[in-house]
Each structure stands twice: as C-alpha cells, then as structure tokens.
C-alpha cells in the first residue's frame, strides 16, 4: 500500500469514528435506515476490513446490536445480531470528496428468522 493510500485509509477511518461518536453512522440513503436504527439497539462498531486503490477507500464495518424492535416484518427477538455496513470514499488531497454507505441486508435478515 502506498503512503497516499495509507493516509486515505486513515482519513476514512477518522470519519467513520466521528460518525460513530455523533451517532449518525447508520444514516444512509436506503429507505429502511431509520427503521434499522430504531430496531437495533446497544450497538457496537468494528471496522473489520479496508480496501484501498488510488483515491478510493472501501471500509467494511460490522455493527453488533440487540434486535429490540420490528424490522422488515420480523418481531424483536432480543438476540444479538451482526449488521454489515459498507462505506465507499473518494479522497483527494486529504479531503473526502465523496462518501456513500449501505447495509448488507442479505446477511442480516437470516439472523432474524425464528430458530
């Protein structure tokens, strides 16, 4: 990894940390993001992986939370679940020029099924 890519990764990680502290990391353009925030409480966050290429950084964040409210028709289970969220950044001269985030519901929904 080049020193520019390393700096870009550090910039992206710093923004993710700031969004976590502000309690807004879960805000995405996905229509269900607000419901997700209400349905999953006691959240903790881990940046599990980053991929860097030139001015792009993609981070995989895993949110561990309690399923305590309705989500996608699933009644609260009280179980701890893992929610994968991705963030894509374009960083130019140390400034974040673009940022998008999205959730991977394909790995979340099976965790809400009755056991």
What is the tens place of the pLDDT at every residue in 86-111?
A: 999 999 998 999 999 999 999 999 99
CATH code for position 23: 3.10.450.50
**Whole-structure pTM value:** 0.86
> What letter would DSSP give residue 75?
P
Structural domains of the chain, count: 1
pLDDT at position 80 over 70:
yes
For residue 50, give its domain range. 3-112
Per-residue model confidence (pLDDT) at position 1: 64
Distances in Å between the Cα of 110 and the Cα atoms of 20, 31, 33, 60, 75 are 25, 19, 18, 19, 13
Predicted confidence (pLDDT) per residue in 11-59, tens digit: 999 989 998 888 887 888 888 888 998 999 999 999 999 999 999 999 9
């Amino acid at each position: 990894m080049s020193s520019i890519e390393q700096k870009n990764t550090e910039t992206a990680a710093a923004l993710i940390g700031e969004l976590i502290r502000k309690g807004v990391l879960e805000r995405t353009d996905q229509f269900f993001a607000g419901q997700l925030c209400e349905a999953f409480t006691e959240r903790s966050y881990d940046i599990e992986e980053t991929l860097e290429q030139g001015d792009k950084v993609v981070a995989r964040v895993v949110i561990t939370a309690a399923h305590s409210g309705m989500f996608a028709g699933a009644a609260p289970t009280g179980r701890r679940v893992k929610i994968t969220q991705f963030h894509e950044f374009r960083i130019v001269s140390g400034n974040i020029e673009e940022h998008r985030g999205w959730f991977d519901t394909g790995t979340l929904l099976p965790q809400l099924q009755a056991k």
